[in-house]
Structure 1
Amino acid sequence: MTVSTDVGDDDGPTQRERLDLLVTDVATTLMGVVASDMVSTTEGVLDDLRHFFGVDHVSLRHTDHHLRASVLIAESPPRSATSHPDPSDIIYFESAGPVVEWAEQGVEPRVERPGGEAGGVSFLAAPLVSGDRPTGFLNLSKSGDRAFSNAEVDAMRAIAALFAQLKARIEAEERLLYTAQHDDLTGLSNRRALLEYMEQRLQAGQPGPVATLFIDLDRLKALNDFLGHTAGDQFIHALAKRLRDQTDPHDMIARLGGDEFVIVPAKPMTAAEAEKEAERVRQLVGERVVLGGEKVSRSVSIGVAVGTPGQTSVTDVLRQADHAVLAAKTAGGNGIAVFTDELRTMYALRDDVELHLRHAVENNALLLHYQPEVDLRTGKILAVEALVRWQHPTRGLLLPGTFIEVAEATNVAGELGRWVIREACQQFAQWRAQGMALDLVMRINVSPVQLVSLDFVSTVAKVLMEFGLAGSSICLEITEHVVVQDLSRTRITLEGLRRIGVQVAIDDFGTGYSSLSHLKALTVGALKVDQGFVHRLGHDTDDLAIVKSIVGLAKSFDLDLVAEGVETEIAARTLVDLGCYRAQGFLLSRPLPPVEIAKLLKVGSLPLNFLDRRNVS
């Protein structure tokens, strides 16, 4: 800002014109000021004011009404402080001199000249006013006697008003910025602020490694259900305060929403050091919180990932930490998992699957293999189970364990399930048209998403009609935990399937005993013993007792019983001894593609020579 410094001796037009030009120049200069350059720009304006008015010192101070103090923002020329901090930077009103004391309440300019108690200094103080409240003042001072004309007082009043507007605008922008970068409930940083911070930390040349702790509370919903969502919010708020109070004040702590938090320690940490810090945080979070007279606590799962500045992106580090916390929760929760090369391989596959699965379903990249179910006494094939596979273009043949969970998590399960039912029924109809599988049952697995779908029964009925199949030739398999999870919805669906003649079996039976009491109420025709119990038959007395009880249960309810996962001869012989004659597993046959299974269907049975052996280890 460049203005004339020729100050007149009266209130004539020439001086007013120069003063008007000064005010205009200050307004233009302050118009584009932002928070980051406010102080430096203000110092430049104060320099110009000092030269224009021919005074010794110019200062801008803001009022902190909460502290009841005047805070120095900028001055010209800057004083050489003899101590740090300089006591004049913050002056409390209760111990201030007359000028600063005036600034707490004064809304009109104040002028003082030498003489009496004023000493040898002349000054003009123009208040910054917002509404009717003083927010600071702009002060000109000169040693000796200096008269300030009315025009100069008016000009300083106008310039002070510009600085008041600037202060209000900067504060409003800072409030907006704070709101944009902080979580409403906790006051912690939000995702946006976290990403900006991590971008800076992971730039090349920054100190590293940069550790990230991804925190996910275990079962917060249970607390909300018990005490209500307000109490849940109070718990989150108390937890956030605890994290803030008991971590390094320079650490980045962000709430991503819900019950998820991220901590990025300010100091560099290796994976081992970050894991120790995560354990400290896990114990810290686990301490009880008092809410409405109740002492409550939640355990927490924490995923740890470490990035290298200049080599690792923010997206990669957060994804790795997210994968690690998922691994911790999958392991049962209340634990810590560090992202490793093993997890990298596993989740690279998961990410690939998530990205391409829908396309695979829509473009017939999936296929079905079929595993026979046989009578262990005769080897006769009684049924075949349709098992989905994915012929991945780069990873080869993928088994359902690789992609079913992803399908359920990404809302592809319903579409995938409909494809499996239609494909299996079409293949079954082709076999029957060729004179095969006339007295067999086709078993098809059903996902939880399908089971609770309102149009599921009608969809199955349409497929059966399309391929001319009787409902009794199809058995849909549902897992036991689904039955327990939503009994009322399951009962409605099963009743609808019964009306169209479709059989239903409970798969993986034995892993959720809470469903035993509901067997009478469910229209199911078969139980399939979970393979985990079958694998160890002949070697584990506990598993033997469980399978024996399931055999008795099936007989009591007049249900068919099928053993899954028969892989050893001793397991097969034990099942026969227990009275469980239907089985499937690798000992009998692996799942086979349609052409191969068709060869077995033409024969109609499998050889079971092992049943005649006497010495089975």
Structure 2
Amino acid sequence: MPRRTLDSLVTEVAAELMGVDSATMVSATEQVLAMLIDYFDVDFSYLRHNDPKNRSTVLVAEWPPRQDVPEPDPLKIVYFDQADSVFKSLEHATEPFLIPASAADYQQTIHSASGLGDISSAAVPLVSRGRSTGLLGFVKVGDRDWSTRELNVLKAIATLFAQLQARVEAEEKLRFIALHDDLTGLANRRALLEHMEQRLQAGSPGPVAAFFLDLDRLKALNDFLGHTAGDKFIRTLSERLRDNLDPNDMIARLGGDEFVIVPAKPMDTVAAEHEATRIQELISRRVTVGGESVSRGASVGVAVGIPGETTVADVLRRADHALLSAKSGGGNGVALFTDAMRAQFELQDDVELNLRSAVSDGSLILHYQPEVDLRTGRIVAMEALVRWMHPTRGLLPPGAFVTVAEATNLAGELGRWVLRTACAQFAQWRRQGLAANMVMRINVSPVQLVSLDFVERIEDILRHFGIDGSSICLEITEHVVVQDLARTQVTLRGLKRMGVQIAIDDFGTGYSSLSHLKALPVDAVKIDRGFVQRLGASTDDLAIVKSIIGLAGSFGLGVVGEGVETPVAARTLVGLGCYRAQGFLIARPLPADEVGEHLALGRIPLNLDLPRTGRGPAAP
């Protein structure tokens, strides 16, 4: 094989470095250094990059690799302000220079680590935009003369290395930007997913824990101190996490006030819950921002994955579900993903997948729960309650799927089906002479209530089935009232013009106020079942129920007790002046054909041994 010429050497080095990136830079550089050692007949060669931020020079690659390298390696990082006089000159050098074997201090500081004895050296700076960015060095046992042409060729090769260095730094900067949050410098979602993919590969150490963190009430801090202070708060917490966690832990900010931490060490559920509690306490320490000392609690969801068995999506979804559980408990808590949560969210996924077809395939049905006058047992109203005959899970109550419907934009379609079906059944009963003096109660979702054509739809349905508006009572929750009071007022006034009655369901749960009752054309309130169920056992609930009944009376509203399950609850309601009620003591929700038997009698016999009472507030 013919010996390379100096010109061909530059071309060959350029070809070797052309396709190199950060991942292959070290191995490719070692190949080039080996080539240069062979060509120039030297004993050792190296490439170093300058770090201007830390005023140091960092060893990138060397050939041949040194044996028995001490720890720490004295050649790995050399700080210019601590180096010998010769090495200090390398910080800003832009021209090649030769170091003879007589430069004893340089030998002792640097090249004694190579074990080559008395040596000479040629150092060729890497130059970019007129400044030194690194060094290409060659070491020879004894002295070696370098020709001007050789040094010029080495300058050309050093330029190739400087170009590679600039390209790799640009790539790494872009990759850093792509993988890090710009506010905190923490990893972002993409970096988190890449990291977890590696951690959950089969054969990797496990279990792998993930903590999903959400700061409680950060919006209030932003509103009070401003977003600049809020950003400082986030940055301070991020620094605190970096300072107090293992340097190898993955800490990612997903945006806003959400973080995910993946500990580097394998952790079972017990260890993970303990570590999550420690992190939560760490976050809750006070921070000074905007001249104020503030703190925020954190809700933490914990999930654990097994490498080779659990996917990244599974672990993060479980941690997110656990976080929702922690927040639902009032926040500032830690929740571990459990089998019960798994069953709950598997049901939600199943419901979301199949609910749309259920609206049209006939698997939805309505059950009806009677409401009676507790003094006589006379049926005064019937509440329509939707059920879903799921293909594999059997009959599901509304609590299992209505929330999912609202979250997936199916609430409007589901609500229209309930309205039409309930009114069709009501019209049929009336044709049979079974519901002449009865009111049909139908629950309305928030989506329906704020839709612009809701009043028109109700009018069309009532006209279609020949039902007068006063025979229908639409039930809305307190939460709906608070969400959009102005829009609710417009809708309810439109309904009242048709004579449709309005009741506030689940009253007493804390959303409504006197001002809402005064501002809305409401006919009745239904006392939340949680208060009624504990009548006879809780003096607090007795006081609440008594105040609700008194409030309803002062506004001229009807009042209905929900969740009557015991005779003592029924007697207490009557004693307080609430005569209308529904609950399992009276009758459970029943299919239409079974309710027909009660309607035929017109009453449900009750044996409550009631005391004699006066009149109280009525209900529609």
- Given the two structures, how large is their TM-score scaled by the length of structure 1? 0.91
Alignment deviations for residues 316-354 of structure 1 (CA, whole Å, 9 cap, x no partner): 222222221211112222211112222222222222222
Amino acid at match of 1:201: R
The worse-fitting range, judged by mean Cα deviation, of 498-507 and 140-149 is: 140-149
Residue aligning to 2:473: 475
2-side partners of 1:528 and 1:569: how far apart? 19
For residue 452 of structure 2, give the secondary structure of its aligned residue in structure 1.
coil
Which amino acid is 1:545 matched to? Answer: A
Whether the 8 Å CA contact 1:70–1:90 is kept in 2: the answer is yes
Which residue of the partner structure matches residue 536 of structure 1?
Answer: 534
CA contact (8 A) 2:364 2:388 kept: yes
Matched, 1:189 2:176: no
Moved more, 120-129 or 85-94: 120-129
In 1, Cα distance between equivalents of 2:539 and 2:79: 82
Query: Equivalents in 1 of 2:70, 2:535: separation in Å?
Result: 83
Q: Deviations over 1:21-50 (max 9, x none)?
A: 211111111112222221122111111111
Q: 1:455 matched to which residue of 2? A: 453
Instruction: Give the secondary structure class of the aligned counterpart of 1:528.
Output: strand
Task: Tell me which amino acid in the other structure corresponds to 1:87.
Answer: P
Give the equivalent residue in structure 1 for 2:126: 128
SS of residue paired to 1:459: helix
- 1:81-137 per-residue CA deviation (whole Å, 9 max, x = no partner) reads 663223233333345456544432233333567899999866543321222222112
1:595-615, Cα deviation, whole Å (9 max, x unpaired): 22233223322222444799x
Q: SS at the partner of 1:36?
A: coil
Identity %: 64
- Number of aligned pairs? 601
Q: How many Å separate the matches in 1 of 2:69 and 2:307?
A: 41
* 1:77 to 2:64 alignment: yes
CA–CA separation in structure 2 for the residues paired with 1:388 and 1:422: 12
Deviation at 1:301, TM superposition (A): 1.4
1:14 counterpart residue number: none
Distance 1:225 1:447 in 2: 31
TM superposition shift of 1:143: 4.7
Partner AA of 2:544 in structure 1: I
The aligned runs of 1:402-481 (5 Å cut-off) are: 402-481=400-479
Counterpart of 1:555, as a letter, is: G
1:463-520 deviations in whole A, cap 9, x for unaligned?
A: 3233333222221111123323433332232222223322110111122275124322
Aligned to 1:339: 337
State the distance in 2 between where 1:91 and 1:216 align: 42
The aligned runs of 1:478-493 (5 Å cut-off) are 478-493=476-491
| 1:389 CA displacement | 0.7
Equivalent residue for 1:399, pick from 392, 397, 400: 397
Q: 2-side partners of 1:388 and 1:199: how far apart? A: 43
1:368 paired with 2:355, answer no
> Are the counterparts in 2 of residues 4 and 52 from structure 1 also a CA contact under 8 Å?
no
Q: Is the 8 A contact 2:213 2:300 kept in 1?
A: yes
1:45-444 paired onto structure 2 within 5 Å? 45-80=32-67, 83-94=70-81, 96=83, 100-110=87-97, 123-143=121-141, 146-444=144-442
**Equivalent in the alignment of 1:30:** 17
Q: Provide TM-score, normalisation by structure 2.
A: 0.90
Post-superposition offset of 1:541: 3.0
Give, in angstroms, the shift of residue 594 of structure 1.
1.8
Structure 1: segments with no counterpart, 5+ residues:
7-17
SS in 2 for 1:384: strand
Distance in 1 (alpha carbons) for counterparts of 2:11 and 2:151:
16
Instruction: Provide the secondary structure at the position in 2 that maps to 1:74.
Output: strand
**Mapping for residues 506-525 of structure 1, pairs under 5 Å:** 506-512=504-510, 514-525=512-523
In structure 2, what is the Cα distance between the partners aligned to 1:511 and 1:373? Answer: 21
Aligned to 1:501: 499
Contact 1:305 1:317 in 2 (8 A): yes
CA distance in 2, matches of 1:500, 1:149: 104
CA contact (8 A) 1:379 1:608 kept: yes
Aligned residues of 2:372 and 2:380 also touching (Cα < 8 A): yes
| CA 1:412–1:227: 2 relative to 1, 3 Å | farther
Structure 1 residues 239, 450: closer, same or farther in 2, change over 3 A? farther
Give the SS at the match of 1:523: coil
* Most deviating of 333-342 and 459-468: 459-468
Let me know the Cα RMSD of the aligned residues: 2.6
Distance 1:539 1:95 in 2: 79
Which piece of structure 1 moves more, 310-319 or 471-480?
Answer: 310-319
2:617 alignment counterpart = none
- Alignment check: 8 A CA contact 2:34 2:63 kept: yes
Q: Which 10-residue stretch deviates more, 83-92 or 303-312?
A: 83-92
CA contact (8 A) 2:47 2:135 kept: yes
